[in-house]
Chains A and B, each alone.
Chain A
Amino acid sequence: MNTPFNTLNEMVRLTSPFPESDTVKDWRASGRKVIGWYNPYIPEEIIHAAGMLPFEVTGNNEPVQMQGAEAYIYSNSCSKIRTCWQLQLDGQYDFLDGLISSHMCDQDMRLSEVWAYYKKLPYMDNIYAPRKRDEVGVQLYLKDLEDFRSRLSQYLICRIPDQHIANSIRIYNRGRELMWQLYELRKRDRPPVTGAEAIEVSKAAARLPRERFNEMMEQLLDEIQRTGREIKKPRRLMIVGNDLHNTNQVAALESLDAVVVVDEMNIGIRYAWGQVDTKLPPMEALARYYVMGRPVDMHTWNSDGRLQFIGEMVEQFRVDGIVSEIVRFCTYNGWDKFDLKKQMAERGIPILELDLEYGHPAGAQVKIRAEAFMEMLESRAL
């Protein structure tokens, strides 16, 4: 058992209780607003530049019983959106002043509509997330972002200036740079953090004021250096598929003599990836980054790039096996399954496919499958 990091404990403390943490309460107590965002095509930089706290709307480490939500969103839909809606019904997201979604997927879009119809917030908005990664997509997204900036400015009765956005870009770029440093450290033979811990770091980034997060991230990297902590597990895993916010799911995998060294989640590696170009006009720079600057994700029609990216990360992080965690009813991941398995087979990388409900713990059946997968990896290593 490795000694926990003090800084990580502090991150968890600052983001607790979930979701309305002490940090959120302090923020609101000072008269400032909190805006929920829902998927990776919402530029937090614009919300930040408007002086508001961007807060990712998700579930957390406890599974949520969704019976109440199913009166509003039928059960043949993604359990992530039902979880978030259940948390809203339970009053846990009452602190939000607004919610911004993007039409990255049908279900994200529908959650924002259900929210708008049954619990309208003072500010609600939607942005289109282009399915094609090309210049046309960038221009479409840029115009949508400009419209969004105008609507948000109207809500605030205050134009959000380019200069503020440029400043926010610098702050968020720094955050990405620090998070990426942590990914780099996970390439080591003995990485300093577990996959579960890395996800806790990403969650903190999406829930804390970014300046505060950046300070803590610097402390964490320093603490990693000082302590020389190493995770000694023989098998290296990669998680692909939908975002996981229940780190207990990852911890359960890591209890089986393996460590998760990389992922391809939006809340994971994509959240830490790359930099917004500070030489471009800030809105254009954001549009280019959000459409083209990150690895291809599941929502892009042409998923060749996504599959190739997964393969490249397997090589860079020397992954022994992939765990594909797809939330049931995810259309995009559903259509990529066949080719993901085929392409990874061609690369000689085994995949364990776990289709789960979002946030729910791995049961005994999943544990048996995971154990068998680890045994198979072990026998391949011999």
Chain B
Amino acid sequence: MSTDNLITIEELIQRLKMAKEGAKKQPGLMKSSASYYQMVSTYVERIASAKDDGCWVATHGTQQPLEILEAMDVRGCFIEFWGAIADLTGKLESAPEALSISASTGTPGEVCSFFRNFDGLSHAGKWPRTDFYLYASSVCDNVKSFHTLGRRYNIPSFGLERSYYPFTAHAMEHWKNEYKRYIAFLEEQTGKKMDYDRLKEVVALSYRLTELHLEIDDLVAHVPCPLSPECYSGTLLAIRLLPGTQQAIDFLTELRDELKERVDKGIGAIENERFRVQWSSFTPFFDPTLMTFMQQKYGAVNVCDMLSRWRGESKWMLDPEDPLGNLAYRTLLAPGNCQYSSGIDVAANLCDQALKFKTDGAIFNNNWGCKTGASYGPIIKDEMMRLVGVPTLTIHCDILDATFISRAEIESQMDSFFEMIENSKAYKARRNLK
């Protein structure tokens, strides 16, 4: 079985360097795009150099309190990022090969491909060196794989779990106590004590990052939308990869300032913005060119997605002297966390987005291996139409595997979708068209 196309950390560093240089030279891109690649490079290089720097590496799933890791010199390696980044840097052959290796170990093809990619790369010895695995019951059942693979590769693991109704007093207390156990696990693994003063500083930086994210959301909501595809994932990655770091704050500050300038000058992602699109699950990781294609062919601009949006007002800094309490609250409001709630709640969140970002249509990627999406997709579709008059295109795909659905099929579906929107009464009413 071939392992030639599997992405390695060294190759990824190289590809990101090239992307950064390319972004500097390519005319028409947002200035922040070079800094975007720099931030992502920093993240990957931190993982690569962890051992030399006297740090540890934790491979982890979503909804982790990364601020705790940051305060303890543990560098996170997010499996979803590692799955998507090969595609996003143009190495489209890596994921299908990793999935194939995973299948050869007996892992069924119906489980989430982020985890199968992790499985395949680990089996082939191409996953970054890892000291331990960290995971949480939010968001999905696939986190069981951390324990399974930990047993297989002799890597210790720790899982956080929370109640189905997270905002009750006892559930909040339990969740905060889970963080204490999480710290105890890390202390045991690293032999290092948590420095709570440092944690407070990291949490304060993380809160500043949230504030910047929310400011950026307000700017992106402008018509025309000032955010171009090359920087679209910037906020998502800053929040999900490097919270509590100055590097992430520096990037979002630069992005915020550039967006403000573009709004002031009336510069949009494209000249003639015809449609505003929201991704009601995730953006198309499996095809990094799709967002640019949509802009060029349909004048459709991507303005928001579920994974990048906070819940509610997101004022999670309740008491600066209680960093764990703040973090416990933060992760319940964090982008993507609403997936752990009911589909009706997810839909309500998306409808809020639709109104704020003035969207004309939604695209739902029904990811083959995602059981949560397969069941709440129809609720979201129906609720968005009912409450805010926004129609949904459902694309049945695999989140990482570009070979799962053909590009021609997607384009054909999009042709019909945008034609349908353009002729709809809701669209005409929003645009004051007859």
Chain A residues engaging chain B, CB cutoff 8 angstroms: 71-78, 81, 102-103, 105-107, 109-111, 113-114, 116-117, 126-128, 130-132, 136-137, 139-140, 143-144, 147, 299, 301-304, 326, 328-329, 331-332, 334-339, 341, 355
Contact = CB atoms under 8 A, between A and B. Distances in A.
Nearest to A74: B374
A74 B377 contact: yes
A16 B165 CA distance: 37
A125 B53 CA distance: 50
Given A74-B377, A335-B148, A329 B164 contact: no
Contacts of B107: 334-335, 337-338
Contact of B142 (A144, A147, A335): A335
B161 A132 contact: yes
A335 B373 CA distance: 19
Interface string B165-189: 1001011001001100100000000
B247 interface: no
Nearest to B147: A301
B282 interface: no
- With a 10 A CB-CB cut-off, give which of A132, A299, A339 has the most chain B CB atoms: A132
Interface stretch (B44-52, B284-292, B364-372): B364-372
Nearest to B366: A74
17 contacts: A74-B377, A76-B110, A76-B374, A113-B376, A127-B164, A136-B178, A140-B174, A301-B146, A303-B148, A331-B112, A335-B111, A335-B142, A335-B145, A337-B106, A339-B151, A341-B106, A355-B108
B165 A147 contact: yes
B110 A329 contact: yes
Contacts of A147: 165, 168, 170
A131 B140 contact: no
Interface of B: 105-108, 110-112, 137, 140-148, 151-152, 159, 161-165, 168, 170-171, 174, 177-178, 181, 342-344, 366, 368-379, 382-383, 396
B375 A74 contact: yes
Given A76-B370, A76-B371, A102-B164, 6 more contacts: A103-B164, A105-B141, A106-B372, A117-B343, A334-B107, A339-B148
B261 to A, nearest CB: 43
A76 B143 CA distance: 19
A75 B366 CA distance: 10
A352 to B, nearest CB: 14
A128 B164 contact: yes
B280 to A, nearest CB: 14
Contact of A81 (B144, B161, B375, B383): B375
A331 B144 contact: yes
